[in-house]
Amino acid sequence: MTGSFAIKSIPTSPIDGQKTGTSGLRKKVSVFQQPNYLHNWVQSLFSSLDGLPGSTIALGGDGRYWNKDAIRIICRLAAANGLARVKVGHNGILCTPAISSVIRAHDLYGGIILTASHNPGGPTNDFGIKYNVANGGPAPETVTSAIFKNTATISEYNYAVVPDADHAADPFAAVDLSVKGETTFSNVDGPSFVIEVIDSADDYVTLLQSMFDFAKLKALFARPDFSFLFDAMNGVTGPYGHRIFVDLLGGKPECVMRGEPLEDFGGAHPDPNLTYAAELVAKCDPKQNPQAPDMGAASDGDGDRNMVLGKGFFVTPSDSVALIAAKAKEAIPYFKNGLKGVARSMPTAGALDRVAAELGIELHEVPTGWKYFGNLMDAERAQICGEESFGTGSDHVREKDGIFAVLCWLAIVAHESAGKDALVSIEDIVINHWKKYGRNFFSRYDYEEVETKGANAMMAHIDELQANMNAARGSPDEPMALDPDFSTKVALADNFSYVDPIDGSEATGQGRRFVFTDGSRVIFRLSGTGSSGATIRLYAERYEPDENGQLVNAQAALKPFIELALKVSKLEAFTGRREPTVIT
Ligand code: G6P
Ligand code: ZN
């Protein structure tokens, strides 16, 4: 089919609050639906990019409510800004790691992802948009601040319209996103424009197949003593999960639960953690379900996060990335030549550090946000990266990748169990890892939608506390007391900052941390991804080298540190919150 369009310049004026956070712009659907809201942001994006005319970008989303409407608007802006082609995911769907793989596989200019990740969807919930650059990763600060600057001064946007007198209707309205293939439109004002509806999974699945030994994974699925359950949480990964775990690996169709992508995620909060994936957690608990699978896994709304469970056993994301790094060379063909380096975000527990030390490779500690791993991966200084926030990934794409992490764990179980009469359980694999490296107990307390004023006041109070502690110190090595009743002293009290070793860019104010003399840590941060109010995150970590002390519950192991953190921060007094919203 072909059609034609004309370019019209439509007057607009700046709209407040279009600053892009850690992972793009996330707001309520009703905010996005305001006249010109999406148009302003996308035009500001296009205006900030050099060499855009004639280029191709990828476009797709997690299928949440308003996804398809937004795609049509963006195509109209793309055509009118001189782009040659937009590769749109089938039905508007492309999971976040898949869009990264499409950008990389076809050397595209970049891509636009329509997602609010794990935030609830539907008409009264969240929508989001984010831009990824040519390496397939989230736009760096230089790009996001240029976009924001443009949103403050925008006065018009370029829009594709039908080339007739009234110029009103959408010239692309007839493009059916459920039909794969190309539609070319001639432009009465210049070069033509193509909308290409692509398969949402082809490039991504081909990439994953090149990284893992699918025959070996298939043999694991065929074992009578192995069962597997994947919870797609009604997010975008359902169809990908079916294709990989069922069609390619031979799992039963029931091994994918909540596998149908829904615009409102079935009313669920599509975040794979112990709180929001409680149904999966219960199904994987042999006390509640005699048929509990040997491995459970979940991914979030847009498919970049993951949670991995054994039978009644939770693998913390900090342990998960450490274990994947430890086993990578032997269990995962993609890493058969070994690793040069690994990286984790600052609040992520240090289990990975111990693996890096053992392997004799570089370990990088970056601020929270997947974008900070991009330069390290491009420079081949880190191949496996992970965050405590249920993010795990590698340099095969420039986003974290939920299904990749699940395949890594399947590969580890397959490898450990190969040739053995009985399956080696995930629990045993992790416990053996702790025996060798020690265990880093970790927990995070989230206080969501706290009043911004109280949250900021608490952070100011912590700054003052840290300043006083540092000022009272006799020498830079002298341990500092955080509380007279707490015997373990503090070796470091600061607000984390990071200088990117590749481009020298600096990120400051990335989290107040108290590092104790025994290596334990307590960290306070404000989330950069919330859509209303402030979210306070309190992270606690303690290292236990002695295997006799490793098998206790993490909450019990961390209790003294968490109580101390709550006391010295005066969190309850500042926020009125007695209990966290979520504990992971
Ligand atoms: C997103 C980002 C991650 C980040 C997480 C939590 O998933 O991609 O890199 O760790 O959000 O960020 P926050 O600022 O809310 O703690
Ligand atoms: Zn996500």
pLDDT tens digits for range 193-216:
999 999 999 999 999 999 999 999
Q: Which residues contact 408 (CB under 8 A, 6 or more apart)?
A: 324, 328, 331, 332, 392
The catalytic site residues sit at: 117
Alpha-carbon distance of 306 to 285, in angstroms, equals 18
Residues with CB under 5 A from ligand 2 (ion): 117, 300, 302, 304-305
Contact (CB, 8 A) for 566 and 536: no
Token code pair at residue 252:
């039963």
Alpha-carbon distance of 501 to 506, in angstroms, equals 9
pLDDT, residue 531, reads: 63
335-361 average pLDDT score: 97
369 C-alpha to ligand 1 centroid (Å): 5
345 C-alpha to ligand 1 centroid (Å): 10
244 C-alpha to ligand 1 centroid (Å): 26
pLDDT band (50, 70, 90) for residue 351: very high
88-100 average pLDDT score: 97
Lining residues, ligand 1, CB within 6 Å = 22-23, 117, 345, 368-370, 387, 389, 391, 527-529, 537
Contact (CB, 8 A) for 72 and 173: yes
Which residue has its alpha carbon closest to ligand 1 atom 13? 527
Mutation choice for ligand 1 from 19, 20, 23, 532, CB with most ligand atoms inside 8 A = 23
pLDDT band (50, 70, 90) for residue 300: very high
* Res. 13: pLDDT tops 90: yes
Mutation choice for ligand 1 from 273, 370, 512, 538, CB with most ligand atoms inside 8 A = 370
Contact (CB, 8 A) for 542 and 441: yes
Write out pLDDT tens, residues 238-293. 999 999 999 999 999 999 999 999 999 999 899 999 989 999 999 999 999 999 99
* Res. 529: pLDDT tops 80: no
376-395 average pLDDT score: 97
The CA angle 242-243-244, to the nearest 5 degrees, is 95
370-394 average pLDDT score: 96
pLDDT, residue 148, reads: 94
Q: What percent of the chain has pLDDT over 90?
A: 89
Neighbours of 55 (CB within 10 A): 18
171-185 average pLDDT score: 94
Q: Record the pTM.
A: 0.94
519 C-alpha to ligand 2 centroid (Å): 30
pLDDT, residue 164, reads: 78
What does the mean pLDDT of the chain come to? Answer: 95
Contact (CB, 8 A) for 521 and 513: yes
392-411 average pLDDT score: 98
Q: Hunting for tokens 């509806």 — which residue is that?
A: 197
User: What are the structural domains, with CATH classification, of the chain?
Assistant: 2-200 (3.40.120.10), 203-436 (3.40.120.10), 440-583 (3.30.310.50)
376-388 average pLDDT score: 97
Q: What is the DSSP letter of 405?
A: H
* Res. 166: pLDDT tops 80: no
Mutation choice for ligand 1 from 100, 269, 389, 399, CB with most ligand atoms inside 8 A = 389
Alpha-carbon distance of 24 to 127, in angstroms, equals 10
72-98 average pLDDT score: 97
Q: Spell 494-527 as b/e; 16+ CB within 10 A means b.
A: ebbebebeeeeeebeebbbbbbbeeebbbbbbbb
Which residue has its alpha carbon closest to ligand 1 atom 2? 369
457-482 average pLDDT score: 92
155-182 average pLDDT score: 89
Alpha-carbon distance of 315 to 271, in angstroms, equals 16
